[in-house]
Structures are given as structure tokens and as C-alpha cells.
Chains A and B, each alone.
Chain A
Amino acid sequence: MKVARGELFAGRALLLGLMAITILPFISIFTTALHPAGTVPNGLEWPADAQWANFVEAFNVANMTALLGSSTFIVIAVVPVALVISTMAAFAIGLLRVPGSRLLLALFVFGLTLPFGGIIVPLYYLERAMGIYNTRLAIVLPLIALYMPFSVFWMRAHFVNMPSEISEAARVDGATIWDLFWRIHLPLARAPIASLGILMSVWTWNQFLLALVLVEDPTRRTMAGALGAFQGHYATDVPLLCAGTILILLPTLLIFVLFQRQIITALLQGSVKG
């Protein structure tokens, strides 16, 4: 395919420029994080004496060990349960087509448009009444529920596209519904389940509003929720704040680099299939 040389140059320049704009903020907080704590450094200046100890300091003052534990706990409590129940529901809606499945699907899909802010106030009072306010459960239970619209929708897209011959053959061989689910369709759905799991892990890690409102104690929050509290305390100490921010976003970047393909396809197919 032929493209004029000038256009080739202009196009690539545009891409490189946008990539630079995307990366520059990361570089800026990185160099800032290396300046002496309490100073106000220049945006992109490499410090005369790099303070790598800032990361250790931020790790300690943010109580990062407790935070990592808390976030990991929340992810482990949310993701497997959400995966299991949404996959089962999607199996019944997309493959078994239980009576009323169109209505059920519409009900779940409606939730896709729901801003978290729309239900956060009653959730707060509901959880106080249930006695789970300020516990990790206060984040875990609503998050599982709030993931249902996307995950049911996403897993249903997989089940709907499975050729019915597979199920028919199994039925002829006398498989029960449970066999059909557990032995035949679950193994076939491993790829979309994996993508969904990675995606929900990142979302959980990054969840802010629920953590802010429903859990007072920052050490029982998600990483992003704790970062909000950290910012409240260290807003004036820019290098330390930047060091803390880097520590908190590093795991998400790492997961993205490792699972890039799954994350991108999961996000995209989730939005296009239907």
C-alpha cells in the first residue's frame, strides 16, 4: 500500500507527539518523587542527589504493608465470587435461555448505565443498618453486585455464541444441566473468564468512591481509596505524595504489562459484543 512520504512523516510525528504527552506526566512525578521531601522541585528536573529513600518513607508512612494486605484481601474476596455467580447467571440466560431470560438480561444491562454516585447514599445507611459499615465487607459485597451488569453481559456474549450442537450432543449422552455447565461449558469459557477476572481485579484495586464512603479506616480500604487518604495528609509534601502515588499505581501498570492482551480484548469485546 502506498502512502505519500510527507503523510508518513506527519502521521508518525503525530503518534510520537501523543505518546510523549502520555508518558511525560509519569516521568514528571518520577523525577519529582526523587527530590528531598518537603521541597517544591521543578517539573522535570533530575535531582542533584536522588532521594530513593522517599519510596521507603512513603511505603512506611502510607502503611503500605497493611494496604497491600487489605487490597489483596478485597480482590480475593470479590473476584472469584463475582466470576462464579456471573458465569452461572450468564450460562442460564445465554445458553439455557430460561423462561424470562430476556427480561433478566434487560434488568442486568440496565445496571450498566448506573453511576455509583446514584446509589452510594442509601448503601451507606443500608450498611450501617447491617452492621458491616467500616469493615472490608462493606466494599466487597456492593462491588460484587455492581460488577454483575458488566460480567453477566460479557459472559452471556460468550455463551450465546456457543454452537448449540455441543449442548445437544451432551444432552443425548445423558448429561444433566450441572454436567453441561461444569464439565462442558466451563472449560470452554476459560479465556473470557480469565479476561474478566483480570479486569475486575484492576477495577477493584482502583475503586475509590465505595472505599471513601463506606470505610473510614484507610488501612481497610482498597489501594485507590487509601491513596485518597494519603493525599489528604501529604498534599503539601509533593515529593512524598508523588512517591506514594507511584507505589500505588505500580501494581496496576505491572498487571497491565503482563496481561495487556487480555485486558484490552476484555474491555473492548465487552463493549462491542451484544
Chain B
Amino acid sequence: MPSSSTTTSTVRSDNRPAASTLSRRIFPHRMVRREAIIGWLFVLPALLMYAAFVLLPLLLSIQYSFFRWDGIGPMSWVGLKNYATVMDDPDLLGTISNAFRLVMFFSFIPVTLGLVVASVIHRVATGRLGAVARTVLFLPQVIPLVAAGIIWGWLLALPGLINQILKAIGLDALTRAWLGDFDWALPAVGLIGVWVLLGFCTVLLLTGITKVDPALYESARIDGAGWLTEFVKITVPLLRQEIGVCLTVTTIAALAAFDIVYVSTAGGPGNSTAVPGIQIYILAFTEQRIGLASALAVMLMILVLAVILPIQRLSRETL
């Protein structure tokens, strides 16, 4: 997940002179060419690594997706057939709809709840309590996702803490093996995502709030604005950019989910929690259907871009 702790991906121009003028100002004109070459040498190691271990595999994924291949024998060209299979097979297409259902839990809930928590911290807990809350809520973000999956696998098990709490408050009828239940496994996995991502969203939104001109909040309070008014009229509109970043990061985390699902349910029961990441792994490494796995991988990458770009655009629009 952390690796997808990503970000605003638009390349903005800075309020500075264009590149050429600037480099001419720093570097005398006659030297520009030689220095440009040296500059490129600075970029080269990073670019080579990135090309060899990210861009090349990316192109190979696209190539594999047009072939039938078991990983050992010869590859045979099948055109778009693998893509057609993904679209036709309800199990494969289901992984994509599962990914979107996870977005609700990994993205929508942490961002909404994070906004509420951040504004509450800003309003009633500016001192020690707020600092402690920030740290504590952030803890799940630093542990391995695999560990989060194992911890919750145990909490959500039949004898686990969740069922015990339900029993203690007299809701025995609700107890079940949450991760083994066809209807509840996906929301249960989603809950793990909420636990992991809430702190990240809260802290990020809180830094956004502290950048808002305090005079705005003060004058609102002098006018007797309550928490809700302040939240709807000031916090949410002025935090557009931060909300956009939160949505971007958490949506990528949901669509690209692997670790948590792999250790908590491995996609089961049935295919009820299978997400594209899990399905790619199974297709490629247990069923040896490399072409099909690659077609799903390409569709996943396109899907992420298709979802992220509009979020980026919306959050950057001025009001």
C-alpha cells in the first residue's frame, strides 16, 4: 500500500521563468549544450532503473495480454480474446466490481470520517489530546498491511473479539465468522481498510485545516456558527485539494488492494472478496494462464487511471 501512497499527479507549471530562460540565466549561453548533457547524466541512473524494472514490465504486460501462454511453452497470438474472456467471465468481471465496492470502504468512509475527525480535533482538541489522537490514529498506517490482515483475521474470527463484543451487548444472533460469510466478507475486509486508512486521511486533512486562515473560523464563531455550519461552509470547500489527494491515494489503495485481502480471505469465500490483484496472482501463478492474467492487469491499470484523472481534475478546479 505505501508504495501507492501517491499523489497529485498533474504537472503544474510553477510561477517561474520558462526552463530555457532560467538555465540561460544560471548557465552562460555557450555552455548550455554541454551542461544539458551533464544534466541528463544526472537523470540517467534513475531513468534506466525505472525503464528496466517498471516501464519494460509494463510493456511486456501489454504484450502478454494478446497471447495465450502457460509460462513455459510457446506463446500463441489470440488478439483481443483474453480481454473478451475477462468481460464475459462473471468471476473475472466480478473482481472489478468487488474493487469498486472496496472503494466505498477504503476511500469514501475514511475520507468522510477523516474530515469529521479532523474538524473535531481542530475545534475541540487543539492541545495534547489532539496530538495524541493524531499519533494513535496514524499507527495502523505504519505497520505492514499483512500484519493488519492477520490481526483482523483473528478479531473477525468466530471466537474473536468482534463476536465477543456482540455477545456481551446481547447481539448473539449477529455473531458469525465474518470473513467466511458470503455476504459479510467484503464489508469485513473493507473495515480493515477503514482502520488502516482513517489516520492517514485525518492527519492529511488536519494539516489542510491548519493552513486555512484562522480569521475565517474566528469570525464564523463570533457569528455563532456551530460545528456543522463551520464544517459545511468553511472546512469542506477550502479543503478541496486535500480531499482530492485523500481520495486519490485511498482509491488507488482500494483498486490495487492485495496484501490485506490475500492474508485475510485470499479472495474467498467463493469469489466474494476476489479483487483484480488477487485474481492476477491466481491466474498467473497457480493456473498458469499468463495471457489472461496480463489482460486483467492491463485493465486494472487503465481502470486506475480512468478513476484517478477525473478526481484530480475536479479537486483542482477553482470554485
Chain A residues in contact with chain B, CB under 8 A? 1-4, 7-8, 11-12, 14-15, 18-19, 21-26, 28-29, 32, 40-44, 84-86, 88-89, 91-93, 96-99, 101-102, 104-126, 141-142, 144-150, 152-153, 160, 164, 167-168, 171, 177-178, 181, 199, 202-203, 205-209, 212-213, 223-225, 227-228, 231, 238, 241-242, 245, 248-249, 252-253, 255-256, 260, 263-264, 267-268, 270-274
Q: Are A117 and B300 in contact (CB under 8 A)?
A: yes
Closest 5 CB pairs of A and B: A43-B161, A115-B256, A145-B53, A98-B39, A122-B60
Q: For the complex, would chain B's binding face be called helix, strand, loop or mixed by DSSP majority?
A: helix
Q: Pick the interface stretch among B78-86, B101-109, B116-124, B176-184.
A: B116-124
A272 x B204 contact (CB < 8 A): yes
Interface residues of B (CB under 8 A from A): 2-12, 14, 16, 19-20, 22-23, 25-27, 35-36, 38-40, 42-43, 45-47, 49-50, 52-54, 56-58, 60-61, 64, 71, 116-117, 120-121, 123-125, 129-130, 132-147, 150-152, 154-155, 159-165, 195, 198-200, 203-204, 207-208, 217-218, 221, 226-227, 241-242, 245, 248-249, 252, 255-256, 258-259, 262-263, 276-277, 280-281, 284-285, 290, 293-294, 297-298, 300-301, 304-305, 308
Residues of A within 8 A of B136 (CB): 19, 22-23
Cα–Cα, bound, A106→B13 (Å): 12
Please indicate the chain A residues that have their CB under 8 angstroms from the CB of B276 in the complex.
115, 117
Report how far A44 CA is from B154 CA in the complex, Å. 12
Assembly CA distance A12 to B298 (angstroms): 46
Choose among A22, A106, A227 the residue that contacts B144 (Cβ–Cβ < 8 A).
A227
A157 vs chain B, min Cβ distance (A): 10
Residues from chain A with Cβ under 8 Å of B64 in the complex: 121-122
The CA-CA distance from A179 to B162 in the complex, in Å, is: 60
B133 touches A15 (CB 8 A): yes
